[in-house]
Amino acid sequence: MVKRGLLVSYYFPPVGGGGVQRWLKLLKYISGFGWEFTVITNNQTHSSPEDKTLLQEIPQNVKIIRTQSSGTVETFKSKTPFLKNSGYWQRWASAFFHITDSRSYWNDTSRTFLKEEIANSKYDVIIFTLPPYSLAILASELVKEVKCPVILDMRDPWTINPYKIYPTPLHRFLDERREVKSISKLSFLISAYESTFHNYRKRIPNFDSKKILVLPNGYDESDFKEIKSAESFHGSTYNLGFLGSVYSHLNTPHAIFEAIEKLKQEKIDVHFHHIGTSVYDLLKLAKKYGIEESIHTWGYTDHKRSLQILQNMDAVCLILDDRWPRSEYTIGGKFYEYLRLKKPIFALVPEEGEAARIIKNTNSGIVLSARDNDQIVLKLRSLLLEKQQFSWEGIEAYSRERQASVLNEFLNQII
């Protein structure tokens, strides 16, 4: 018998990025377990990079409803000259005027389409995936209005997310209150991180009575079948790859650039490759260290192209600077594709965080504090010159196909 699900996701192809791929890949494989999904998504893509190649992976039995938004996201960039070249202050200004997030206007639009779709079709489950976190408010409101289970999927943590900016303690207080109120009303939760649920157990009464599933992000084996063998970019040089967005804090590569400068003085030529977008001017930062010729910015590329570039690296880099609060509570979707590429991971992350735990358990790389400059130079030199051996043990647990099977079991138990 066909089972039917309704997914509410603000981001969906042709929008690109790591967050989009979580549900794109789950839909791709869960259809093999007798599920048919309808997706309600936002039609505006102007504020996000596009990857139209992802459209080819949407299963034919997935119905997509693209809504016309009833509002606009305030960027502040074009209206305030002071903010024009400051990624951090743009985000600070947006956070100041929008409690929770600036996408909350979409709740009104999606609510209308939701009610129409529910009235006209029967669904076994309704799933909201966030961010944007304001969707959790809509999900909690819908619980009493529908007969089928309403499930919240958290691709990232909410108020403990280190990338989230709170301009004042009042902003944090109000957002935390919204978080607790929304999560308290929901009985079914999925999270990409164990730490999210550990946090809720401390803050939400009777949280253990909820039905929960930890479903990490992962990799799709089919994405790696067409990747060609590695080729050297610069002959005798060493290449370190970084995939994903560089933000105005938490994951800027200051420590890596400093290490490249010091290794250059030792006649060890290390090149840093960034594939993705950045609110930080990496070439300007490189000039500060005198290593402009060693820094390569590829910009945003389609998903498979980015994996091909990483295949040519000697190692890959993950940065979550432990000088920033809550840096232990996130990882990022690219991390699991790092694992599948079986490239040594040079991780500047909190030693007690989830990323460090997985790297140690899978024996897939080196974990250091981003503040330990001497060790960063020492370990990067050792990693590149001595060709250390890693085993990448048990990474099959993070395949998207396996995760779709786990999700199917969870949904079957609920319905």
Are the CB atoms for 166 and 172 separated by under 8 Å? Answer: yes
d(CA 68, CA 41): 9
Banded pLDDT at 98 (limits 50, 70, 90) = confident
The residues, any chain, with a CB within 8 Å of residue 318's CB and separated by 6 or more, are 332, 334, 335, 338, 345, 346, 347, 348, 349, 355
Helix (H, G, I), strand (E, B) or coil at 243: strand
List residues bridging with 214 in a β-sheet. 191
Number of neighbours of residue 293 by Cβ within 10 angstroms: 10
Tell me what the mean pLDDT of segment 276-295 comes to: 91
pLDDT, position 47:
63
Q: What's the pTM? A: 0.90
- Write out pLDDT tens, residues 295-318: 999 999 999 899 999 999 999 999
Contact (CB, 8 A) for 110 and 9: no
Q: What are phi and psi of 85, to 5 degrees?
A: -110, 20
The first and second tokens of residue 277, run together, are 């977008």
On the question of pLDDT at 72 being above 50, the answer is no
For residue 132, count CB atoms less than 10 angstroms from its CB and return exposed for 0-12, middle for 13-18, buried for 19 or more: buried
Q: What pLDDT is recorded for position 349?
A: 95
Rounded to the nearest 5 percent, the helix, strand and coil shares of the chain are 45, 20, 40
Mapped onto helix, strand or coil, the DSSP state of residue 157 is: coil
In this prediction, residues 214-231 reach a mean pLDDT of: 88
**Tens digits of residue pLDDT in 331-356:** 988 999 999 999 999 999 999 899 99
Which of 262, 275, 281, 392 lies closest to 340, judged by CA?
392
* Phi, psi dihedrals of residue 275, rounded to the nearest 5°: -115, 110
DSSP string covering 32-98: GGTEEEEEEEES--TTS-B-GGGGGGS-TT-EEEEEPPSS-----TTT-GGGTT-HHHHHHHHHHHS
Q: Contact 360/343 with Cβ under 8 angstroms?
A: no
- pLDDT digit string, tens, across residues 138-151: 999 999 899 999 99
For residue 50, what are the β-bridge partners?
15
- For residue 284, what are the CA distances in angstroms to 224, 287, 295, 317, 410? 34, 5, 10, 20, 48
Residue of 107, 100, 148 lying closest to 8 (CA atoms): 107
Select the more confidently predicted residue: 84 or 213: 213
DSSP H or E stretch at residue 306: helix 303-311
CA distances 242 to 135, 276, 277, 315, Å, are: 30, 8, 11, 9
Q: pLDDT digit string (tens) for 121-142? A: 999 999 999 999 999 999 999 9
Q: Mean pLDDT score of the chain, rounded to an integer?
A: 89
Over 80: is that where the pLDDT of 79 sits?
no
Q: Which residue has the tokens 């119905």?
A: 63
Domains of the chain (ranges plus CATH)?
A: 3-72+103-218+400-414 (3.40.50.2000), 222-396 (3.40.50.2000)
